[in-house]
Amino acid sequence: MEPSATLAVVAKAKALKGQGKPVISFGAGEPDFDSPPGALRYAEKAIREGQTHYTQSNGLPELREAVASYYSSRFGLDYSPNQIIVGAGAKPLIYEALASLVDPGDEVLVFSPAWVSYVEQIRLFDGKDVIVDTTGTDCIPDPEMIARAITPRTVGMLLNTPNNPTGAVYNESTLRKIAALAIKHDLWIIFDEIYERLVYGEHEHRNIVSLVPEVMDRTIQINGVSKAYAMTGWRIGYALAPKWLAPKVGAVQGHLTSNACSIAQWASLGALKESEADVVRMRQEFSRRRDIMTGLLRKMPHISFPEPQGAFYVFINVRNTLGGSHGERAINTDGDFCEALLETEYVAAVPGSAFLAPGYVRLGYANSEEEIREGMERLQRFLEGVSLRSDM
């Protein structure tokens, strides 16, 4: 198993910062805002009132009710609280979903570039990840390529929109075609929409179950408070599962962790009930930063990128620089690119290889405007200092 490359970059950047270097990190996958006041108030109250015991293993009934009513008002979907499992972040819920669905040798489709943990988690159950590349199709999966990747061993697929690391937001027609494939080939879908509140410009997040209700019985939706509410450290996510499957996912969690932290669950209830205005404010700020970062990136040599429509990442193609060098440093891989950038300009970014996309680099824009401007200036200087293979 490969360690998480995003966490590795953050650790190296922190170590350099500890040595007093002026590091700017675009490596993190989390908002830089404080958690909303509504969440803090609920958490403080929960502590004072002694809500410090085990809760129901699947999560507080009040929180599961709030998630159900969120899905009802946002997506028009009717889930009962007993179809909802609250866990310690979206990540373990994806693991628990896979645990209840994947048998050894089962094939699971993953659309690359993809978030680091999908493939590693599938392999933990001796499943086989089957990768469908989207870099040639604007980072949107091509239904015909998906159809070609399906075999008699295929049991399901992991979908992530808005996407980490590309920022792509899957359009309605693609989602409808994917849903039709899932029905035709009897596949389940894990629909990871953890970034659903972070979509910009004229783009719109579409929920696959509200588009095609027939897939409700074969879809596990994954969401949580981490990204939309700037609550990554509280570790609360939720899964919404079909009636037949929810008890199985819940059983895995029951044996693995029991309930997620009781105080964090109360904080998440506060977020869902009282923090809508904060979500909107943070989204607007991300949108502004996206425009600043992409505007500056467009002027830089040697790189290109798909226009990010959601989440808070820009996924830049650095293939033109591979085979070249920066000063004494050879740049043969995206990892070399990131290392040279960190060591010369103290700018941290994540190699695309960590997302099954060698030749790319992920830059997050969950940073202040000042940091984004300074970091982009350094990146531009770095790129101007790259000697391409063709120059050598």
x/- map, 33-72, ligand PLP, by CB under 6 A: ----------------------------------------
Helices 334-345 and 369-384, axial angle in degrees (round to 10):
110
Nearer residue to ligand PLP within complex by CB, 224 or 310? 224
112 contacts 140 by C-beta, under 8 angstroms? no
Number of residues engaging ligand PLP in binding (CB under 6 A) = 13
Q: Does residue 366 bind ligand PLP (CB under 6 A)?
A: no
Residue 226 makes contact with ligand PLP by CB under 6 A: yes
- By CB under 6 A, what part of segment 131-160 binds ligand PLP? 160
Separation between Cα atoms, residue 122 and residue 352, nearest integer Å: 20
> Among 24, 66, 90, 190, which residue interacts with ligand PLP (rule: CB under 6 A)?
90
Residue from 59, 81, 89, 324 that binds ligand PLP (CB under 6 A)?
Answer: 89
- CA proximity to 92, closest of 261, 271, 310: 261
Q: Does 321 sit near ligand PLP (CB under 6 A)?
A: no
Task: Check: CB of residue 168 under 8 Å from CB of residue 159.
Answer: no
CA pair distance 214, 219, nearest whole angstrom: 10
Shortest gap between Cβ of 29 and ligand PLP (angstroms)? 4
Rounded-to-integer distance, Cα 5 and Cα 343, Å: 17
**Residue closest to ligand PLP when measured from CB atoms:** 89
- State both tokens at 300: 């830089």
Q: Indicate the residue among 207 and 226 with the shorter CB distance to ligand PLP.
A: 226
Tell whether residue 96 is a contact of ligand PLP (CB under 6 A). Answer: no
Element spanning 370, H or E: helix 369-384
CA dist 388 and 392 (Å) reads 7
Determine, following the binding rule CB under 6 A, whether residue 205 of this chain makes contact with ligand PLP. Answer: no
Contact between 164 and ligand PLP by CB under 6 A: the answer reads: yes
Pick the binder of ligand PLP from 10, 26, 38, 91 (CB under 6 A): 91
Closest CA to 392 of 322, 343, 342: 322
CB of 115 to ligand PLP, least distance (A): 4
Strand partners, 317: 304, 360
Establish if 237 lies at the interface with ligand PLP (CB under 6 A). yes
Structure tokens at 148: 């070609």
By CB under 6 A, is residue 29 in contact with ligand PLP? yes
Give the binding site for ligand PLP (CB under 6 A): 29, 89-91, 115, 160, 164, 192, 194, 224, 226, 232, 237
